[in-house]
Amino acid sequence: MPFCLSLAANETFIAANFAFMMYSGLTHGAGRLVQAFGTEKQKKLYLKKMYTGEWTGTMLLTEPEAGSDVGALTTSAVKNEDGTYSITGNKIFISAGEHDLAENIIHPVLARIEGAPEGTKGISLFLVPKIWVNDDGSLGEDNDVVCTAVEEKMGIHGNATCSLSLGSKGRCRGTLLGEENKGMRAMFLMMNEARLLVGLQGLACASSAYIYAVNYARERIQGRHLLNLMDKSAAPVPIIQHADVRRMLLTMKTYVEGMRSLLYYVGMCEDKINVSDDAEEKAKYQGLIDLLIPVAKGFVTDRAFDVCSLGVQVYGGYGYIREYPMEQLLRDCRITMIYEGTNGIQAMDLLGRKLGMKKGKPIMDLLGEIQVTIAAAKKLSATEELANKVQAAVNKLGEAAMHMGQTAMSAAVMTAFAFAYPFMEVTGDVIFSWMLLWRATIAAEKLENGAKKKDKAFYEGQLKSAEFFAHSVLPATLGKMDAILASNSAVVDISEDAFGGK
């Protein structure tokens, strides 16, 4: 299912069916690789059964000594006389790598053909089924893909993450998917979709955590109201009436609304690419998607974990036990910060590749999109002040982006990348402030035009979300940007011995 269509799915369902989403997402991604790079024979043999879910799919990248550094992989491929390849190697952390939910599992596998260059330049992509698929589409013999361990995870226990041995008996075969030595380029088609899916998983957990927390806070009676604290005869009140609980709930609310709008915006960009016939317009929206992927995965999942953690706090002691949902949401959400490239890698991608992509056009297009919203918000009395605060943050982000780009191309490159993660954070904050301002502007217009009584509380809530974020989050964001502009080099200068340990 295309990412933009998957957004229509119910977020609580996604969170409750985290493992199912992983199985279906991986299968769709593997199928997309076959559709994009497969031969006619591969498409005929695999596509229908993968897209219908009769067969499932995975992605085999990680190895014991080659995690984030995929170019260090040692899995090898030797060409056979019949055009297939004998595959030998070991892969770890393979989501949905072994199970009995389908009659076959199709593994896209990264491996190095005998004699290929070192590093990522010499990596090829292969299609390796668990059970060999005969030329007529029937299933043949076992393909020597063996599960050697099921890894015990902190969360998502419904998904078998496992270690796989390929060719330990010398009988594992695969077929080349795409061109030799261009496997990483092909795999990134799946990786980019997977990163957006992981962002969606983070949103699903955060959205569920917020709804659970706000409903619990309405029902949980605990303590007298602060204004009646000294009145011993005063009745206890729902905890949603306590100021600190309201702070936590509003923090959760603003982050969930920000991440939802960002992910929906990326989906809208994909839709615009699909319906447009204008090459320039297509390139613009593809540039925006490419630029936003690190934020939609990295920043969104960071904040999603924060939201789930706040949800535990709202529940208090009950939030920490398994009889209540928060404990599972927190555990399940944590993996999203690691999946498909850790969030530190997302930050490095934003700084090292996306910021200067196409001579900076995507970042300029993004800032232009934000300015459109700011201009509209300035025309309304309810959002004018908020627009000015977002404007100040956007201006300073532009300054920070210029500074980071220049520093990354200087002798202080290590210092620049020490601030890559804070830069992703402030970029995410500014994008969220844009999204919340956008929502608030629409809400203000609806209220001015006489919104229905049943909708007023929702629209007023949108204005308060934007107000809270502008007054309580953006000031800290501006402080982080001051730190980025100062670019202190302590992270780089500290000696390894000074860290301690041993």
**Positions marked active-site:** 340
Return the sign of the alpha-carbon dihedral for residues 144, 148, 154, 160.
Answer: positive
CA-to-CA separations, 474 to 259, 262, 379, in angstroms, rounded: 16, 17, 21
Distance of CA 186 to the CA centre of its chain: 20
Residues 6+ away with beta carbon under 8 Å from 267? 3, 4, 5, 7
Instruction: Give the whole-angstrom CA distance, residue 60 versus residue 70.
Output: 11
Residues 6+ away with beta carbon under 8 Å from 461? 253
The DSSP call for residue 59 is: -
Q: Which residue has the tokens 């998983």?
A: 201
Instruction: Give the whole-angstrom CA distance, residue 171 versus residue 88.
Output: 9
Amino acid identity, position 246 = R
Residues 6+ away with beta carbon under 8 Å from 492? 414, 415, 418
- Packing angle, helices 384-408 and 474-486, rounded to 10: 20
218 within 8 A of 241, measured Cβ to Cβ? no
CA-to-CA separations, 455 to 446, 447, 463, in angstroms, rounded: 9, 9, 13
Helices (H) and strands (E) in the chain, counts: 17, 10
Range list of H helices, 39-145: 40-51
The DSSP call for residue 188 is: H
| Strand blocks (E) in 279-341 | none
Please provide the DSSP assignment of 21-48 as one string: HHHHHHHHHHHHHHHHH--HHHHHHHHH
| Strand blocks (E) in 116-170 | 123-129, 131-133, 139-142, 145-150, 161-166
